Amino acid sequence: MISRTSNTICRIAFGKKLYEDGGSERARFQELLKETESIFVSFFPSDYFPFMGWADKITGLAARLEKNFKEFDVFYQEIIDEHLDPKRQKPEQEDIVDILLQMLQDRSSKVQLTFDHIKAILMFGI
């Protein structure tokens, strides 16, 4: 059931089923999610005592968090690049990335998106 739900969410967001193929992309995505969960439940002293930011650096939590966000940034950039590929077969239904890219290219829109905006929406909106 969880796999089916995850497939549906990934298909709506990215236009592909990451949980069906069992390939390296799926494993990479799962590892990123596991690491994110692990970091988010970790105790960051600076969350409670801002003057203790140094403790986050000593424990390595700050570096893990930064590394995780950079890896997600690369992952989402690859998905965006796939969608921008002119050789890409156009799907029957557009996914969220397609719609966000259309908004990015629409200069008449009141909202001017960037690639960083799209990645942030994918990371925190899904």
Per-residue pLDDT of the chain (126 residues; tens, 9 = 90+): 456 666 666 766 776 766 555 667 778 888 998 999 999 999 999 999 999 999 999 999 999 999 999 999 999 999 999 989 988 888 788 888 999 999 999 888 888 899 999 999 988 876
Residue-range domain boundaries for the chain: 23-125
Distance CA 6, CA 2 (A): 6
Helices (H), the chain: 2-14, 18-21, 24-40, 45-48, 53-59, 61-84, 96-105, 115-125
Residue 25 CA, chain-centre distance (Å), reads: 13
* pTM for this entry: 0.79
Chain length of the chain:
126
